[in-house]
Amino acid sequence: MASEPHHRRDTPVEHGGDRELLRGMWIRNTAKLVEDGGQIEAFIQAATTVRLTDVYLSVAPELYSQKGALIASFNGKVSAAGIRVWALDGRPAHIKNLTTNEPLMQGLRNLIKFNEDSPESARFHGFQADIQPQDTPVGIGDFHLGVAASKLTPLQQTERDLRMHIWLNCLTQASNFVHSYDMPFGAVIPYWLHAYNGEPVTVTWSTGKRATDKPGRTCMMDMIMPMLDQYVVRSYGTEPAETVTQIMTQVRYACDLVREGHKMPTVLGSMETAAGMDVNVSYGDTPEKADKTIVLNDLDRVESVMLKYPSFGGMVLHDWTGWSRLSS
């Protein structure tokens, strides 16, 4: 298991023994949104309906200088509504090889400067990375989509290992940098790391923690969790039972490690509303489910099942544009 950094944790709030779960939403159309006062007002109104506690604003490295004043204004308005604003960045090219994460790190340096130059109400609360290793363009190493670990050839295993080490190195650098400024760090993680085609995605490491780990190999989920404050599972589906299944292993694992005295992140699930994914994957692609009320009812059903697990933190919706296009 990776070393455990000492840093702040973002967890659901306790109210007399009752937990107030987090609710988040991703915003991808940042450049247009921050210039559109009407859309900002619509977002804040929607945030009240959804009961948002957190928003993850996609900010490419150059946007801090190009639209810094507008971003600061947006952050201030959203913060005034009681919502925490996280900066979000990440693209597959960041882990194409060992040197391609520099744009991500430059974005983090720009984030820190933005916060230093902004009033407290306009600052970002934390940072979230969204880097999906299976989507990475061909570079050094390859994930080999659709192939279970036991079916990989020796060369394919080496290539997947390299991809995993590059991804792990990228997240570790970003985590250490963000935490050095006493800000929380989160990441969006595929739901299947513990069971890709029925087998865990592992990486060469000195010791494995699970009984199913091979000698010298550790599940990537186990490696990543300790460096995060929020572990956001990319658990896309339109059936609450399926969503629960996709996040249960991660939540239980975090709970088990907390009971053993380890510091672990809050684990959140997610729901997709943007069209263009697939039927039964996104609410926006599933006609009988493309309705805001249905999404919120399903979200409530997931939370009601998961609330008993202390490490479960809530749910995140992807994304603002998709949500705004659903029926009311």
CB 168 within 8 A of CB 223: yes
Residue 15 pairs in a beta bridge with 18
CB 320 within 8 A of CB 29: yes
Name the domain count of the chain: 1
Report the C-alpha gap between 86 and 90 in whole angstroms: 13
| φ, ψ (nearest 5 deg) of residue 126 | -160, -170
DSSP secondary-structure letter at 207? -
Q: What is the pLDDT of residue 249?
A: 97
The tens digit of pLDDT for each residue in 260-317 reads 999 999 999 999 999 999 999 999 999 999 999 999 999 999 999 999 999 999 999 9
Q: Classify residue 2: in a domain, yes or no.
A: no
Q: Give the structural domain span for 230.
A: 13-325
* CA nearest to 317, candidates 45, 10, 56, 36: 56
Instruction: Tell me the range of 14-18, 216-220, 290-294 where mean pLDDT is highest.
Output: 290-294
Report the C-alpha gap between 119 and 108 in whole angstroms: 18
Query: Which residue type is seen at 97?
Result: N
DSSP secondary-structure letter at 327? B
| φ, ψ (nearest 5 deg) of residue 102 | -60, -40
The tens digit of pLDDT for each residue in 75-132 reads 999 999 999 999 999 888 888 887 888 999 999 999 999 999 999 999 999 999 999 8
Q: Classify residue 217: in a domain, yes or no.
A: yes
pLDDT at position 139 over 80: no
Check which CATH number belongs to the domain holding 182 and give it: 3.20.20.80
Q: Classify residue 1: in a domain, yes or no.
A: no
pLDDT band of residue 20 (cuts 50, 70, 90) is confident
Q: Classify residue 8: in a domain, yes or no.
A: no
Q: Classify residue 4: in a domain, yes or no.
A: no
pLDDT at position 212 over 80: no
Q: What is the pLDDT of residue 135?
A: 78
Tokens representing residue 13 in the block: 């709030």
Report the C-alpha gap between 231 and 67 in whole angstroms: 29
The tens digit of pLDDT for each residue in 145-199 reads 999 999 999 999 999 999 999 999 999 999 999 999 999 999 999 999 999 999 9
Q: Classify residue 32: in a domain, yes or no.
A: yes
Q: Mean pLDDT in the chain? A: 91
